[in-house]
Chains A and B, each alone.
Chain A
Amino acid sequence: QVQLQESGPGLVKPSETLSLTCSVSGGSISGYYWTWIRQPAGKGLEWIGRVHSSGTTSYNPSPSLGGRVTMSVDMSNNQFSLSLTSVTAADTAVYYCARAISMRGGQDFWGQGTLVTVSS
């Protein structure tokens, strides 16, 4: 059974960079697409982007994320990561990492989520 666990600071200051890591256990990161999804309190899910184990990425072009996203993989540690620059209060949310069934498919295994608050 594949398990995912998000880790990173729970509090980030405005204008700084949010950095999260997702550790994958019970299976290899190799050959799969890995995604980040976020959910502000009381609101819906937002797909942030995906990264393949080869390093290929695709990001949400929406104005709310506006070119601030970078994702990468660390094969040696079976992890992948998210970096979101120039954060504002609007980036406060629960951030989930998840495995994609395929490049075009949905997410079958999810982490428990981690709350990131943007505040000074």
Chain B
Amino acid sequence: QSALTQPASVSGSPGQSITISCTGTRGDVGTYYYVSWYQQHPGKAPKLIIYDVTNRPSGVSHRFSGSKSGNTASLTISGLQAEDDADYYCSSYTSSSTRVFGGGTKLTVL
């Protein structure tokens, strides 16, 4: 199974919105509504921020939202804040009954 494709980096200014893409195949993102997104700060464990494409766990800010179209899932962060500066990973269920991660995207809040 190949890793999902994410941009290596994105950036935005406080208050702006950014979108991170996550491209897979028909064998994962394109077929299943089991895409998750994680936020990871340096030296910390990943934190689940979106599950099943669009759902936010309790306690996660409404500024985080997810969507999917075809083989590509997307994470949008609105009203960027300094604390959003982190690495973001997508993950999807696959037709092999496994999960696969994206390579990760470094978000820089300018």
Contacts and interface: CB of A to CB of B under 8 A. Distances in A.
Interface residues of A, number: 25
Contact of B3 (A44, A104, A106, A112): A44
A44 B93 contact: no
Contacts of A37: 101
Given A60-B1, A101-B51, A47 B45 contact: no
A105 B97 contact: no
Contacts of B47: 110
Nearest to B87: A44
A113 B45 contact: yes
Given A45-B46, A47-B100, A105 B3 contact: no
A44 B89 contact: yes
23 contacts: A35-B99, A45-B46, A45-B101, A45-B104, A46-B101, A47-B91, A62-B1, A96-B45, A101-B51, A101-B52, A104-B32, A105-B34, A105-B36, A106-B34, A106-B38, A106-B52, A106-B99, A107-B36, A107-B46, A107-B48, A110-B46, A110-B47, A113-B45
